[in-house]
Each structure stands twice: as structure tokens, then as C-alpha cells.
Structure 1
Amino acid sequence: MLYAILAVMTAVFFVLGVRRDRRRVANAVWLGLTLVFGFLWLVSRDDLPEWLDSALGYAVAVAVIGAVLVLPIALIINGVMMLRREGRSLGNLLSLLTGLAIIALGAVFVFALTSGRTWVHAVVGSLVLVAAYVAFLFVSLLLYSIIYGKTGRRTGFAAVIVLGAGLVGDRVPPLLAGRLDRATKLYRREVAAGHAPVIVVSGGQGADEDTSEAAAMRGYLIGRGVPDDVIVLEDRATTTEENLKYSRALLDERGHTGRTVAVTNNYHVFRTAVLARRLRMKTEVIGSRTASYFWPSAFLREFVAILAKRPIPHVLVCAVVVGLYLFVVLV
């Protein structure tokens, strides 16, 4: 009964949080807690039908095997693919490193089970608890990011902000082309509805780029039939936060006060929305499709970036959990 009460309470907080502002990271945490307490309530019941009880047991077994064996191998394979297709960088290494970390943690856990030393149990147990907390946050943010990307307003925008991504020389690569194609569809939909939104293309020039991202994006849009006079260039931004901040400044200069939508890739949608909220921008965020092989490393990068914005609460939670665990084990 306790789990049922907790599940209902966290579900209420989740609904209230979404109604207040869909762009809150706390919404993802409340969603995750609702699912955890709901599952615990379900498995703790004694009156479940036999078929459902068996199905839950099989589901747990499959989830454990998948997390311990299938997931790390899949991440390692994805990491190798990222290195071959996208080049060597820390961001492209994330899925490979995560897969190796899961395997290493599993090996250390097995070692701890065979060891009779208390300090080994204490250290390994602490690592497992921290890993479990990080995994909970990751799954919660992943699920809520999908929900956020599939919901929300899709029409009635006075301005469309397209966030830049890296160029290949002066050429728009497929990742950025997907954002521009999505923005073009939004523009045409608004025109068909009798509106005339402006499109802000935002992105500066990198050291390895022959032109600014904004200029290349403008050329791409014109080539797809978008009128030049509705395109506004923002060619200074080098980060997502700057994309939003500088684009808003340009729109303010032009007196645009209507609804605004930012377009990026689907893995990047929720972090962009979080940043827009922190900048106090009333902006929807819509995502374009991303190649499936690019998703794991890309979302891992987004996850790290979200945690890095406010690390102290997560450090405190881990410290409290590990402290309680060590007290039980050692004292």
C-alpha cells in the first residue's frame, strides 16, 4: 500500500510540474519515481494473477540480462561505429566508454561477491549505488525527452529559430540539413495558414569552417524555395545557449512578440527547452530526425550536459545515499 501511495503522490507532482512548465528537469525525475514506485507496488502485491506474476518475473530477468550483457555490447559496437563515421572526439567516444564502464562495474561487482572483506563490499556497493542513481536519472530523462518531443504546440508561430551545427567546409551536412528541412516544413505550414513567420538561422563560424553556419543555412533555405526576405542571420553563436540568446535579441530588435519555436535534432530537444526556460524564453522546441547510430552518443552527451548545469544536487544525493550505505555496512 505504501508504494501505491508514493506512486500516486509522485504522479501528482509530475502532472502539476508539466502543467506549470513542460521544460523542467524535475518533471523527468517525478516521472521516473512514479514508474519505480508503480512497479514496486505491482510486484509487492500478493493477489496478482499467476500469468501476470510470471510475466513480471520474465520481464525483470530480461531487463537485467539486457542491462548487464546486451546493453554494454551494443554501446561498444555503437561507439566503434561512431569513431569510424564521425571521427575521434570525446563526444563520439561516450557510448564506447559507457559500455566499457558497465562491463567493468559488473566485473568488480562479481569480485566483491567472492570477497569476504568488508571494505571491498563497502567500496563496490558505493559504486553500484552511484551507478544506479545515474542510470535512474538517464532513463528518466530519456523517457521524458521522448514525451516532450512528441507533445506540445506544432503551429501558430511568428518566428522559427534554427540552431546551427557543424559544417563540412561550407557545405551543410545531413545533421544540419534535417533541422533546416524541418524548419522549411514549419514555414510552409504557417504560410498555408495565412501567417508569415521569420526564420532565424543561428550559428557562427568555426575554425575548420569556410563560412558561418548561418550563411550556409541561409543558402540552403533559399535553395529550398524559402524567400530571402524572411531569413534573419545570427552569425555569432557558438553554443546552444548563445543560439537562443542572440536569436532572441535579433527578434526583439525587430519587434517580434509572437510565439517562437526553435528547431534542432530530436536528441537535443529537451536540453534546448531547459536552456530556453533558464533564459526565460517562451519558446517551444521541435526536433528533426537523427540517424539511429548517432542517437546513443548524442543523448549521452546531452545527459552529461544537463547534469553539469546543476551538479551540486546530484552530488549531495549520492553523498547521502553512499553515507547511509557505509554506515549500515561498516557500523
Structure 2
Amino acid sequence: MTSLPTRNIGPFTVSAIGLGCMNLSHAYLPRPDAADAERLLRHALDVGVTFFDTAALYGFGANEELLGRTLMDRRDEFTLASKCVLGEIDGKRGLDGSPAAITRVLEDSLRRLKVDYIDLYYLHRLDPKVPIEESVGALVRGIEAGKIGAIGLSEMSAATLRRAHAVHPIAAMQTEYSPWVRNPEIAVLDACAELGTAFVAFSPLGRGLLAGNPNAANLLPGDIRGSMPRFQQPHLEANLQLIAQLKGLADQADCTAAQLCLAWLLAKGDHVVPIPGTTSIAHLDKDLATLSRAWPADLIAAVDDLFSFDAPSGPRYPREAQAQVDTETWAGEPLV
């Protein structure tokens, strides 16, 4: 196992770039077969990734099972994160932030992961029917029972973070953050820095589109991105033109567009930890190579200038998914 630069999430020291595991089992197509997914996970650990992120939602438990059978013989080498609240309800995606549901899903996650302890356990979404204090309280009881190490939130606002933090310190906030989704800069990124909460950036490569992944521009039927307005015409064509300019910046800097996006995120604060997902070992290695070079401030500033808040075309979520997030929106942001 090699070592990478590190950052802190609560009591844990993790590789400065982690691995989002969702697309090995869920949401995006094509998916790798089991052997390839297992090979990628083992390779990530071998090359120094020490932060792996999964959730009960992903594949309705299949992703947790994948990690459980693949990595747990090396359990002491990495920090494990999973999530509850957003998951399978009567065979469909749904929210249940009640303490009883959280307790039940935690037990299911422990079983699927083949562990008795999850380092970082997130509330995947805010359930508007349940006060955040009650949901956090259920996780505090998980800590007291020795089943959880630290508490995280996902896709929530600065105000909700502060309410949750008043109940128990919140180790991490996980939210979509990339050059084309800059909503965390409205309030929650600064709130995290103030409270000592790490900010975990999911989809740091624009769900593959910013990285130039051809699968992201030519989606297969059933790929969840097909429901997202930014991947639909006429928005897609406008966004591809914007991304071509990003590639131009990357070419001038002799790097990949993915590396430039990751460098941009890492420059946003020492408390920011991106978790790109990939099904390709080659892409993973290139992403991690971001950590091995210096990035000039003027190049990072050029990405800022290119991706103003209103530069991308279209909302980031369809109506139903947007209704399940608690994140801040900027004035004039298209939401439907």
C-alpha cells in the first residue's frame, strides 16, 4: 500500500481524495461486473485511498455488500462511510428519518458490510417530516452503542447543520460540489469551516460530464442522469460547449479536465475532501495524480471565472429529487 496526502474528517485522517462507490452498483450505466468492481476497490486501497463512501441506497444494499465482501479483510487500513434515511421503501426510493428507521437501517448496513462499526454514518437527506434533532439523536445512540464513530449530513443547509451540530458535533457535510455546482459556496462551506466540520464533495466531476466521459454525454436507457435537466437537450449542448472550454484550460496546463476539477476543489479549503467515483482503474490513477503536483493560483482562478454560478445550463436535479435536498440556492437558480 502506498500513501497519499491526507486531510481530516472528524477524528479520522483520510486520503485527500477518497472514492465514491455508488456507480459500481447504482444509478449510472454501464456498470462493471462484480470482478471488475472488486478489482477496482482493491486497487484503490493498494494505491493509498483510505476513504470509501457507500450508502444503504446504492443498489438497495448491493453496494454495501460489495464493499463487505471485498475490503473487510483489510478493515484497519481505511475509513468507512455509509448513509441512512434515503433508501428502499416498498421497493422504491424514499425518505424515512425516524429514529426507528435509522436504527433498523444501521443494523442492516452493519450486516451487509460485515462489520460491527461504521466510522462515519450520514443522514443521507433531511426528512422534512422529522426534526433534524430527532434523526441526529438516533445516531448519537448509535455512537453510544459503539456502532458508529462519527456523524455526517448530506445535501443539507448551513442552518440545518447548525441545528444538528447543537445536538452532537457533525464530522462531515457531504454535498454535490464541482465547478458547475457551486451552491456550497453560498453558506454551508463557510459554516463547515467555522464548526470544524469536513466538507465531502460528491460528484466532483459533474457526474462524469466535466471529465469528458463519453458515457455521460450519450446515456443508456435507465441511467439516472437521463432525468437530470443538464443532461437533456437543449441544456446538454450548451453545457458541452462550456466543458470544451474547461478542456482547453486543462490542455494548456498539461492535465486532464478531471484533475483540474479536483485541484480546484482541493484549493477551496483544507477541510474539503472530494470523492470522485469511477469504474476505471486508469481513471482512478489519473485522478489521484492530482495530488502529486502543484497547481498555480491563476489556473484555479480561471476555472472560477469560467464557471460562474449561472454558467451551466439547466437545473441540477429534476423536480422530485430537488424536493429532497435542503441545500441553499442562489438567486435566480433554475429549480424545475
Q: TM-score range by the shorter chain?
A: under 0.3
TM-score (norm 1): 0.27
**Larger relative helix fraction:** 1
TM-score (norm 2): 0.27
